[in-house]
Amino acid sequence: MDTGTRVEDRHGLRLLRLDGRTTVVATSDDVSDLVGGAWAAGADVVVVPVEGVAPAFFDLRSGLAGDVLQKVTNYHVVLAVLGDVSALTAASTSLRDLVRETDRGVHAWFVPDDAALDERLQRLAASRAARG
């Protein structure tokens, strides 16, 4: 991972945070790099600002969103897309449905801000603690 990343711990979870200065999710291979970076850092969650996600991700016809979500699910890494996607979801019913469905799961979240991210992290940490 490049220098635009930092590792932080919150609620007993390790986060790999990207700064969003560059697009880091533009291809399926990029997701493999993110997963590898998460594993190298011992991170439970990768946080990518919405600015670091290629527009093709939000165009569901491109297949990029499906590839990304499949990889994070297969490799048991949580991907949190941080930032406001409301304009994008307002313009696409399919994207709105995808965001709603993914937010119900545990492998990918769309969170508008750090407070919402913190809430999801607390819930994830509590569910992991309950499982023992």
Domain count, the chain: 1
Lookup result for tokens 């297949």: 63
Which pLDDT score is estimated for 1? 47
pLDDT tens sequence across 80-114: 999 999 999 999 999 999 999 999 999 999 999 99
User: Residue 132: which H helix or E strand, with range?
Assistant: none
Q: Single out the residue of 6, 59, 56 nearest to residue 30, CA to CA.
A: 56
pLDDT tens sequence across 23-54: 889 998 998 999 999 999 999 999 999 999 99
130 belongs to a structural domain:
no
**What CATH number is given to the structural domain containing 68?**
3.30.750
Domain range spanning residue 72? 5-123
Longest alpha-carbon distance in the chain? 42
89 belongs to a structural domain:
yes
